[in-house]
Amino acid sequence: MNVQDILRKHQQYMLPSMITYYQEPLPFQRGEGQYLYGVDGRGYLDFFGGILTVSVGHCHPRVTERICQQVRTLQHTSTLYPHANMVNLAEKLAHIAPRGLQKSFFTNSGTEANETAIMLAKVHTDTQEVIALRHGYSGRSALSMTLTGQASWRVGGTQILGIQHAHNAYCYRCAYNRAYPDCDLECAHDVEELIQTTTSGRVAAFIAEPIQGVGGFITPPPEYFRIVVDIVRQHGGLFISDEVQTGFGRTGGKWFGIEHWGVEPDMITCAKGMANGTPMGATVARAEVADSFTGLSISTFGGNPVSCAAALATIEVIEEEKLVTNAQVVGGYLRQRLEELKEKHPLIGEVRGMGLMQGLELVREYKEPARVEILQVFEATKRRGLLIGKGGSYGNVIRIAPPLNIAEADVDEAVRILDRAFVEAEDQ
Ligand SMILES: Cc1ncc(COP(=O)(O)O)c(C=O)c1O
């Protein structure tokens, strides 16, 4: 099918809320490694990886082979029957997850993983109230939209009671007009007052992303999580680390983002990069927390043999190709190159992130969000064959998240294209 027919049918038959990038949306036909190929055959260097999902490159031969093998053998049984792939994946997660996390529940998406985690926290603590973060993103169910801290992603979704949003550590736009480290982490300490004044004094959980993804790769100072989690635990709450974007080596040097911040979560939630693009969500909990839920629960497709095979193969590739380290090393190089770009282009207000999860916040004078210019950068990078992502509550953050097995040469190519795109945007 040609581009025009795909776009016509997209417009005619899909819900308009399903947003696409670019003035003229870009349909793809094929992927290989770090490249995607359009319907017209044109190649693009993919530095967004299907929203931080393609961890080991498009159609990695090992992952593809395992999926095909499993599809030919057995595709679906439901969670009513244990399957080797499911228990092997759960065992693997228990080994690589932060200390103490042992038992898994598999679903199909990050949204469901978060739903499961919040439900477990409520059951375990026999408490209802939850603390989430401003600028966070948790998914598209009613609960996860309510947990989300950005109006644009909450349409029709704020009806769940008992959720309070704490200030995130958005140092570039500090809510208290303070500067780190002199601020004494006022945003983190405020969680005590938030709980004392807006809840019953006891909470079920605090849920947060170690680096806020959709929020624009907002990266807190190292002390932030220790302070907040300590306060939450004093009020009876569990800590859920949403690793949907930061998990599986993305942040470099560690399997999970929260491991950078010196706190041990009671649960993590995973999806996206876990299975390289095959639908998969997981909630991994401390045994004590998991065991407190003894009621009935089912996920028809959750932990199906094909998705579990894809996840196992993805994790094996990450291990064998040492991609957690590669994300740290090449991520460090990417960061250095982006800092150089910032020196050159006044449009770049801040570079932030960790590993192969790097963001550029684009601003005009006085930090006014550069919402128009970012679109120009998008069109210019597209014309030159580079795919990047967008985020931030003000729609002005470029999100860069290539597959974990890219090389420095790929970074050089991406930075060269970005450089040209910024020149074009600044000239307009
Ligand atoms: C941090 C985070 N949590 C949860 C979700 C929801 O995941 P899904 O889209 O798979 O439901 C997302 C999706 O972008 C996310 O970034």
Residue 214 beta carbon below 6 angstroms from any ligand 1 atom: yes
Nearest CA to ligand 1 atom 8: 110
Query: What atom of ligand 1 comes closest to residue 214's alpha carbon?
Result: 16
Residue 213 beta carbon below 6 angstroms from any ligand 1 atom: yes
Residue 243 beta carbon below 6 angstroms from any ligand 1 atom: no
Query: What atom of ligand 1 comes closest to residue 112's alpha carbon?
Result: 11
Ligand 1 centre to CA of 272 (Å) is: 8
Residue 53 beta carbon below 6 angstroms from any ligand 1 atom: no
Nearest CA to ligand 1 atom 7: 110
Tell me the β-bridge partners of 361: 350, 397
Query: What atom of ligand 1 comes closest to residue 136's alpha carbon?
Result: 1
Using DSSP, state whether 318 is helix, strand or coil: helix
Other Cβ atoms closer than 10 A to 114: 29
Query: What atom of ligand 1 comes closest to residue 110's alpha carbon?
Result: 7
Query: Pairing between strand 35-38 and 281-286?
Result: unpaired
Q: Are 131 and 207 spatial neighbours (Cβ–Cβ below 8 Å)?
A: yes
DSSP-derived secondary structure for 235-250:
TT-EEEEE-TTTTTTT
Residue 79 beta carbon below 6 angstroms from any ligand 1 atom: no
Q: Write out the chain's pLDDT in tens, 428 residues.
A: 999 999 999 999 999 988 899 999 999 999 999 999 999 999 999 999 999 999 999 999 999 999 999 999 999 998 899 999 999 999 999 999 999 999 999 999 999 999 999 999 999 999 999 999 999 999 999 999 999 999 999 988 788 999 999 999 999 999 999 999 999 999 999 999 999 999 999 999 999 999 999 999 999 999 999 999 999 999 999 999 999 999 999 999 999 999 999 999 999 999 999 999 999 999 999 999 999 999 899 999 999 999 999 999 999 999 999 999 999 999 999 999 999 999 999 999 999 999 999 999 999 999 999 999 999 999 999 999 999 999 999 999 999 999 999 999 999 999 999 999 999 988 87
Ligand 1 centre to CA of 340 (Å) is: 31
Name residue 351's amino acid.
V
The pLDDT value recorded for residue 158 is 80
The pLDDT value recorded for residue 260 is 98
Using DSSP, state whether 220 is helix, strand or coil: coil
Ligand 1 centre to CA of 271 (Å) is: 7
Q: Are 63 and 405 spatial neighbours (Cβ–Cβ below 8 Å)?
A: no
What is the Cα–Cα distance from 18 to 12, expressed in whole angstroms? 12
43 CB-near residues (< 8 Å, 6+ apart): 35, 36, 37, 385
Ligand 1 centre to CA of 244 (Å) is: 6
Tokens of 357: 């999860």
pTM: 0.98
Query: What atom of ligand 1 comes closest to residue 213's alpha carbon?
Result: 16
